[in-house]
Amino acid sequence: MNTDFAIIGGGVVGLSLAWGLLKQGYKVTIVDGSDGSYRASRGNFGLIWVQGKGVGAPHYARWTQRSASLYRDFSEELSDATGINVSLEQNGGFEYFFSDDDLLQTQAVYEQLKQQLGGDYPFEILRGDALRKEEPTVGPEVTSAILHHQDGHLNPLKLLRALNADCQRMGGVYLSNHMVRSVSKGHQFTLSCDDGTRIGADRVILSAGLGALDLGPKMGFVTPLEPERGQVLITEKLPRMINRPSVTARQVDEGGIQIGATNEKIGFNRDVTTKGIAFLADQAIRTHPFLAKVKLVRSWGALRILSRDGKPIYQESPTMPGAYLVTCHSGITLAAVHARLLPGWFDKKQDAPDLEAFSEDRFRLS
């Protein structure tokens, strides 16, 4: 089997890249892992989130904003091609505060970032009646909120399904339950899978999330990644109760309230814990008291993919030219730029985005 691009990893990051490359006329093979793989794309919170991204790193804020600005056309094209509505809403998102001190600290950071971005960081502070007019279910302990107008959310499982379906519709080859064990390079790349399958490719993209920890160093990458567990809850289906998402709670398109998420550095453990559930429930009820009487129907844990500094990595291998590492913990938020703009970066086109600040040089030099 031979292909122009072999993409290792069939989550949202890998499929977004595949989708963009197929649009450019390339032959693409997506090599996905087993059901036992970590699969962040199937456990995440579904936010398209600009707020707070890029503090101290305005280049990351701009990259995130660019993706948010491309999202509507991207999602509509996917929906038109597949009939799958990813339920995108981009009406802004809230960060809630229980004290004025916390608000003022965050406001100062955002004002500084806004200045670094030339004023392009549209947020406002809401209090009292103004806040409760926008979100009537907010509780009395909430003193204020920051509404960032570039934020939004969608159904991440529908996005994953739409990307997979459209990639295959365009002729992409999707191989599930194929674990790549080694990548070698002669006149072309050869990917060897655990079932004996061998794939020849002109170029290779490693976008396997935490699965890159094994292959990455063998391909010349630093691969400074670590897992972070996030536990998430979801309630029974309800009529519309929450108008805009927050990192605490969002109402999904099917009616349930999704509550999240913990940030736990405990290795590769995806278990759900009583302590985690209690913490999430407490925060959610403080923010939206009506949730105290709502039935919880499911909880799960998933692992985020975090680089050492929390920012994306886009790197061509110094030892295997034509092999690339693409990894981030914001695969949903960045899906639109990955699909629309990364193909030009792989081809070194003149109008390709400048991603030097996201290279692994920042880790080699540190």
CATH at 202:
3.50.50.60
Give domain status of residue 13, yes or no. yes
Is residue 257 domain-shared with residue 127, that is, in the same domain? no
Contact yes or no for 149/123 (Cβ under 8 A): yes
How many angstroms separate the CA atoms of 50 and 72, rounded? 15
Is residue 43 domain-shared with residue 162, that is, in the same domain? yes
Is residue 125 domain-shared with residue 233, that is, in the same domain? no
How many angstroms separate the CA atoms of 330 and 47, rounded? 9
What is the model's pLDDT at position 154?
97
Strands 198-206 and 2-8: parallel
How many angstroms separate the CA atoms of 314 and 356, rounded? 8
- CA dihedral 35→37→39→40, nearest 10 degrees, is 150
Per-residue pLDDT of the chain (366 residues; tens, 9 = 90+): 799 999 999 999 999 999 999 999 999 999 998 766 657 767 788 999 999 999 999 999 999 999 999 999 999 999 999 999 999 999 999 999 999 999 999 999 999 999 999 999 999 999 999 999 999 999 999 999 999 999 999 999 999 999 999 999 999 999 999 999 999 999 999 999 999 999 999 999 999 999 999 999 999 999 999 999 999 999 999 999 999 999 999 999 999 999 999 999 999 999 999 999 999 999 999 999 999 999 999 999 999 999 999 999 999 999 999 999 999 999 999 999 999 999 999 999 999 999 999 999 999 865
Is residue 297 domain-shared with residue 240, that is, in the same domain? yes
CATH at 258:
3.30.9.10
Q: Is the dihedral of CA 329, 153, 60, 162 positive or negative?
A: positive
Last residue of a domain, one of 149, 165, 194: 149
Task: Concatenate the DSSP letters of all residues of 166-218 into one string.
Answer: HHHHTT-EEE-S--EEEEEESSSEEEEETTS-EEEEEEEEE--GGGHHHHHHH
How many angstroms separate the CA atoms of 146 and 153, rounded? 16
Give domain status of residue 88, yes or no. no
What is the model's pLDDT at position 33?
83
Is residue 163 domain-shared with residue 46, that is, in the same domain? yes
Last residue of a domain, one of 307, 328, 352: 307
What is the model's pLDDT at position 41?
67
How many angstroms separate the CA atoms of 50 and 338, rounded? 16
Range of the domain at 131: 93-149
- The pair phi, psi for residue 73, each rounded to 5°, is -65, -40
Contact yes or no for 117/61 (Cβ under 8 A): yes
Give domain status of residue 250, yes or no. yes
What is the model's pLDDT at position 34?
72
- The pair phi, psi for residue 168, each rounded to 5°, is -70, -35
Which candidate, 16, 31, 38, places its Cα nearest to that of 183? 31
Is residue 231 domain-shared with residue 302, that is, in the same domain? yes
Is residue 166 domain-shared with residue 217, that is, in the same domain? yes
Give domain status of residue 76, yes or no. no
Give domain status of residue 298, yes or no. yes
Is residue 301 domain-shared with residue 314, that is, in the same domain? no
Give domain status of residue 135, yes or no. yes
Contact yes or no for 276/231 (Cβ under 8 A): yes
How many angstroms separate the CA atoms of 125 and 132, rounded? 12
What is the model's pLDDT at position 45?
87
What is the model's pLDDT at position 185?
95
Contacts of residue 215, Cβ cutoff 8 Å, sequence gap at least 6:
8, 180, 182, 183, 206, 208
Is residue 236 domain-shared with residue 295, that is, in the same domain? yes
Is residue 241 domain-shared with residue 287, that is, in the same domain? yes
Is residue 220 domain-shared with residue 278, that is, in the same domain? no
Give domain status of residue 105, yes or no. yes
What is the model's pLDDT at position 251?
98
Give the count of domains, the chain. 3
Give domain status of residue 59, yes or no. no
Is residue 132 domain-shared with residue 275, that is, in the same domain? no
Contact yes or no for 315/324 (Cβ under 8 A): yes
Last residue of a domain, one of 128, 149, 170: 149
